Amino acid sequence: MSQQTLFPIDDTPLGSPSCHDCKLCQVRTKIVFPTHPAASGILAIGEAPGAEEDVTGEGFIGKAGKKLDSLMAAHGIARSQYGRANVVRCRPPGNRKPDTEEKEACLPKLAAAILKFEPKVLLLVGGTAVEAFLGKGLVFDHVMQSRRSPVCDLGKAHKALRNGLRPLLDRQEGLLCVPMPHTSGLAWNRYAKDGSRWSELGAEQVALAVRHAHAERTGDQPASTPGISSQLVV
C-alpha cells in the first residue's frame, strides 16, 4: 500500500468505517475511502472499487489505476500527489455498475469529501463518474464540452451531488471537471466516434486537468485547447 494518507475513518460526516447505508455492505471486504488531492490539486473520481481495491482498501491499484498513475507521472505527478475517490466506496458484486440505491447512498459522502478537500480539478474517469457530475450523454461529447469550458453545471449533476456541493459554490466561482474515458484495457483500446483512439483522448484529458489545476494554483490563465489535438499534451 502507498504511503499516502487514507481518508480518516473516524470522521463521521464523511463516512463511517462500518457503513450500512446500502446492500453493498453485505458483500464488501473493505470500504475504499478517498485520498487527498495533495500538491497537484487533482482528485480523480472513478466508478467503484475493483477486486484488488476491495481486498486492500486502497483505490486505483488495479491495472486501470496503474494506467492513470503512469499518465499522471508523465506530468511529474506521483501517485502520492493526486487524490482518488469513487462514485461508490464499496465493490459491487462482479464489478457491475453501481445501481441507483447505491449511488444515492454514497454520493453525499463523495460530496462531503470534495467539500473537505477542496480540489482544484475533478478528473472524472469513465462513464459512471462523468454522468454523476455532468449528466447523461456520450463521454466523447462531454470531453468536447470540457475543452470549451471545464466548469461543471451542477444543475445536470446527480441530485445527491447538487445538494451536497452547494456550499462549495458559495466559496468559489465554480467546480472544474475534466471528463476522460475509463483507463481499463477494454475501453482504452477503443475508438471514439470521430475515429480518435480513446487512449489518445484520455492522455489529452489528463494533460488538460493538469493545466487547469496548475492555473488554479498559480492564478495563471491556462493555455487554450481547441479541438482534439496531441498538442494538448504538456
Which of 218, 34, 60 lies closest to 115 in space, CA to CA? Answer: 34
In the chain, alpha helices (H): 51-56, 63-73, 100-117, 127-134, 139-148, 159-171, 185-188, 198-218
> Cα(203)–Cα(34) distance, rounded to whole angstroms?
23
Can you name the residues that pair with 43 across neighbouring β-strands? 83, 122
pLDDT digits over 97-124, tens only? 999 999 999 999 999 999 999 999 999 9
Domains of the chain: 12-217 (3.40.470.10)
- Stretch (H or E) spanning 3: none
Q: What is the pLDDT of residue 37?
A: 95
Q: What is the pLDDT of residue 13?
A: 44
Q: What is the pLDDT of residue 186?
A: 79
pLDDT digits over 5-36, tens only? 444 433 444 556 779 999 999 999 999 999 99
Residue type present at position 58: E
Can you name the residues that pair with 180 across neighbouring β-strands? 125
pTM, 2 dp:
0.89
> Cα(153)–Cα(176) distance, rounded to whole angstroms?
9
Residue type present at position 31: I
Q: From edge to edge, which strands make up the β-sheet containing 177-180?
A: 83-86, 42-46, 121-125, 177-180
Backbone angles phi, psi at 106, to 5 degrees: -100, -25
Q: How does strand 42-46 pair with strand 121-125?
A: parallel
Burial of 193 (0-12, 13-18, 19+ CB in 10 A): exposed
Q: What is the pLDDT of residue 1?
A: 40
Confidence of residue 223 (pLDDT cuts 50, 70, 90): low
Residues whose CB is less than 8 angstroms from the CB of residue 66 and which lie 6 or more positions away in sequence, other chains included: none
pLDDT digits over 127-136, tens only? 999 999 999 9
Q: What is the pLDDT of residue 167?
A: 82
Residue type present at position 183: T
Q: What is the pLDDT of residue 11?
A: 46
Mean pLDDT, range 86-96, rounded to an integer: 96
CB 210 within 8 A of CB 233: no
